[in-house]
């Protein structure tokens, strides 16, 4: 069974063809980094327009790489949320149109579920497993109980780790996207030179907070003499990266204790999302997993950032359970994996600049 997957939730346009036997027949992605880099972040209107410009061509390219035509496609899966509403509409409408013309099932996929299930595309990871989902827009710890079944243990009360990386990189002068830029610079830096806070570290629970860390790096940069020399930039990057890793490991350690109430022995911890590509985080998580008697599963780098292979695979998993959607399914800019989860303590409180998500 071959599933065509489409991904247009943010600033990557992607198409992929994946079978229900874990075969990736084609996986093509067009990044919009050059389009958004001058603005220091993603511009929603530009993102939607670039999806319109390139999605058709990427689908044709995927079919050519797989050596098949649309007549061989058994189902179509498209990201329906969460994400930028204009960007989501492009892939969702295209997916519906192809499915309608071909007369095949259509599956609306939660982008976060794509990340959550991506490890099962490369390995036979059994439910339930612990998931650290960490990206530019999301930072959560969940128990993945099955397809469509998620129990959230913790989430960010303000900003996501990936967003903090982008902000820090901009302040340091490393450009966009921030995660890869900070990791490159940190290789030559001293992570102990600058003392940065570790928000939430040592507290009970598995919630995150990165707004204070962003503020701290902003004040620190402002206190240093400009322009920053190369070694200072490297030390700032290394210090910031170490602070984020410490927070993520601390919060994950608490989540493991909750996971052990469900899975007393064995089990696995999975890391997914764009920040999961960070080498230091992978090394720290691998050590934590070994200490906790957990298997550590991290998708290859190409499956960490936004891609359509994970969307096609999530579609295949849902299709195997008979979970398909009608063509009136509407895009969802907000679409939590665990709709029953309570808001994180302190999130949504009014501040000087208004409420934060």
pLDDT in tens, 43-91: 889 999 999 999 999 999 999 999 999 999 999 999 999 999 999 999 9
Give me the pLDDT at residue 342, please: 85
Q: Are 163 and 211 in contact (CB under 8 A)?
A: no
pLDDT at site 356: 40
Does residue 271 lie within any of the structural domains?
yes
Q: Note whether 135 and 275 are within 8 A (CB).
A: yes
Are 164 and 136 contacting, i.e. CB atoms less than 8 angstroms apart?
A: no
Q: For strands 106-110 and 75-81, give the pairing.
A: parallel
Q: Is the pLDDT of residue 193 over 70?
A: yes
Residue 45 lies in a domain: yes
Whether 326 is covered by a domain: the verdict is: no
Instruction: For residue range 243-284, list pLDDT tens digits in order.
Output: 999 999 999 999 999 999 999 999 999 999 889 999 999 999
Give residue-wise pLDDT tens across range 282-331.
Answer: 999 999 999 999 999 998 988 988 999 999 999 999 999 999 999 999 99
Same-domain status, 132 and 237: yes
- Co-location of 141 and 269 in the same domain: yes
Residues 6+ apart with CB under 8 A from 280: 183, 186, 241, 242, 245
Residue 82 inside a domain? The answer is: yes
Same structural domain, 265 and 315: no
What 3-state DSSP class applies to 91?
helix
215 and 250 within one domain: yes
Q: Report CA-CA distances (Å) from 285 to 43, 115, 196, 278, 298.
A: 33, 17, 21, 11, 10
* Residue 356 maps to a domain: no
Residue positions counted in the chain: 357
Residues 186 and 282 in one domain: yes
Q: How far apart are CA 232 and CA 329, in angstroms?
A: 51
pLDDT for position 350: 53
> Nearest 5 degrees, angle CA 145-CA 76-CA 18?
70
H-helix or E-strand spanning residue 49: helix 44-66
Residue 331 lies in a domain: no
Do 104 and 160 reside in the same domain of the chain? Answer: no
Phi, psi angles (nearest 5°) of residue 71: -70, -15
Task: Give which of 116, 19, 65, 11 is closest to 313, Cα–Cα.
Answer: 19
Per-residue model confidence (pLDDT) at position 347: 64
Quote the CA–CA distance of 264 and 292 in Å, as a whole number: 11
Query: Do 43 and 181 reside in the same domain of the chain?
Result: no
What does the pLDDT look like over 83-133, one tens digit per residue?
A: 999 999 999 999 999 999 999 999 999 999 999 999 999 999 999 999 999
Number of structural domains (the chain) is: 2
Q: What is the CATH number of the domain that holds 70?
A: 3.30.420.40
pLDDT at 353 over 50: no
291 and 315, same domain (yes or no): no
Alpha-helix runs per DSSP H in 173-229: 178-186, 211-223
Q: What are phi and psi of 193, to 5 degrees?
A: -70, -40
pLDDT at 327: 97
Q: Do 195 and 237 fall into the same domain?
A: yes
pLDDT value, residue 348:
60
Q: Which residue has the tokens 């830029």?
A: 181
pLDDT, position 355: 43
- Please check whether residue 192 lies inside any domain of the structure: yes
pLDDT band at 354 (very low <50, low <70, confident <90, very high): very low
Q: Please tell me whether residues 73 and 206 are part of one structural domain.
A: no
Q: Which domain holds residue 20?
A: 2-118+303-320
Mean pLDDT of the chain: 93
Say if residue 345's pLDDT is above 50.
Answer: yes
Residue 181: closest CA among 27, 7, 29, 33: 33
Asked whether residue 182 falls in the same domain as residue 269, the answer is yes
In a domain, 337, yes or no: no
- 138 in the same domain as 37: no
Of 293, 214, 213, nearest to 259 by C-alpha is 293
7/287 Cα distance (integer angstroms): 33
């Amino acid at each position: 069974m071959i599933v065509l997957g489409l991904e247009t939730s943010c600033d990557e346009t992607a198409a992929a063809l994946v079978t229900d036997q874990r075969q990736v027949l084609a996986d093509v992605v067009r990044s919009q980094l050059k389009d958004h880099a001058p603005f220091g972040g993603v511009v929603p209107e530009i993102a939607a327009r670039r999806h319109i410009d390139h999605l058709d061509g990427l689908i044709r390219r995927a079919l050519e790489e797989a050596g098949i035509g649309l007549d061989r496609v058994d189902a179509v899966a498209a990201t329906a949320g969460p994400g930028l509403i204009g960007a989501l509409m492009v892939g969702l409408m295209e997916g519906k149109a192809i499915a309608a013309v071909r007369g095949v099932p259509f599956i609306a996929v939660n982008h976060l579920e794509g990340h959550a299930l991506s490890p099962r595309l490369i390995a036979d990871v059994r439910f339930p497993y612990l998931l650290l989902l960490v990206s530019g827009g999301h930072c959560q710890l969940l128990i993945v109980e099955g397809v469509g079944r998620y129990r959230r243990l913790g989430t960010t009360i303000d900003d996501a780790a990936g967003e903090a990386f982008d902000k820090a990189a901009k302040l340091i002068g490393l450009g966009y996207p921030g995660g890869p830029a900070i990791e490159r610079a940190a290789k030559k830096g001293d992570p102990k030179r600058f003392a940065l806070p570790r928000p939430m570290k040592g507290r009970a629970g598995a919630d995150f907070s990165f707004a204070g860390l962003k503020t701290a790096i902003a004040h620190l940069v402002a206190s240093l003499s400009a322009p920053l020399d190369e070694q200072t930039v490297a030390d700032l990057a290394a210090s910031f990266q170490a602070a984020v890793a410490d927070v993520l490991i601390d919060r994950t350690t608490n989540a493991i204790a909750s996971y052990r109430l469900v899975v007393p022995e064995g089990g696995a911890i999975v890391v997914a999302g764009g920040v999961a590509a960070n080498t230091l985080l992978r090394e720290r998580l691998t050590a934590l997993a070994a200490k906790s008697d957990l298997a550590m599963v991290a998708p290859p780098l190409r499956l960490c950032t936004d891609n359509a292979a994970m969307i096609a695979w999530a579609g295949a998993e849902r299709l195997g359970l008979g979970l398909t959607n009608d063509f009136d399914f509407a895009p969802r800019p907000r679409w939590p994996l665990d709709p029953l989860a309570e808001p994180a303590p302190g999130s949504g409180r009014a501040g000087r600049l208004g409420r934060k998500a």
